[in-house]
Amino acid sequence: MQDTATVDCPFCGQGMELVLDTNIASQRFVTDCEVCCRPFEVTAECENGDVLSVSAAGS
Ligand SMILES: [Zn+2]
């Protein structure tokens, strides 16, 4: 199952919508900001098909 969540780029503050696989309880991946093109790390916690929390951190 997939769900979307919004995170803000830690560099430029741009909000971005991400598609998450909610079957994965805890996931971490790197994505590139669409605006400033800098990579940042996204950490997401999911449970029973819901997104519990999403955070973004610059590396
Ligand atoms: Zn950015």
DSSP for the chain? Answer: -EEEEEEE-TTT--EEEEEEETTSSEEEEEEE-TTT--EEEEEEEEETTEEEEEEEEE-
Confidence at residue 33, expressed as pLDDT on a 0 to 100 scale: 96
For the chain, the domain total comes to 1
On the question of pLDDT at 8 being above 80, the answer is yes
On the question of pLDDT at 59 being above 80, the answer is no
**Residues spanned by the domain of 20:** 2-58
pTM of the predicted model as reported, rounded to 2 decimal places: 0.89
- Per-residue tokens: 46: 């999911």
Confidence at residue 17, expressed as pLDDT on a 0 to 100 scale: 95
Mean of pLDDT values over 21-42: 96
Ligand 1: distance of its center to the CA of 48 in Å? 30
Confidence at residue 32, expressed as pLDDT on a 0 to 100 scale: 96
Residues with C-beta atoms within 5 A of ion ligand 1: 9, 11-12, 14, 33, 35-36
Ligand 1: distance of its center to the CA of 9 in Å? 5
- Number of neighbours of residue 19 by Cβ within 10 angstroms: 8
On the question of pLDDT at 14 being above 80, the answer is yes
Mean of pLDDT values over 2-31: 96
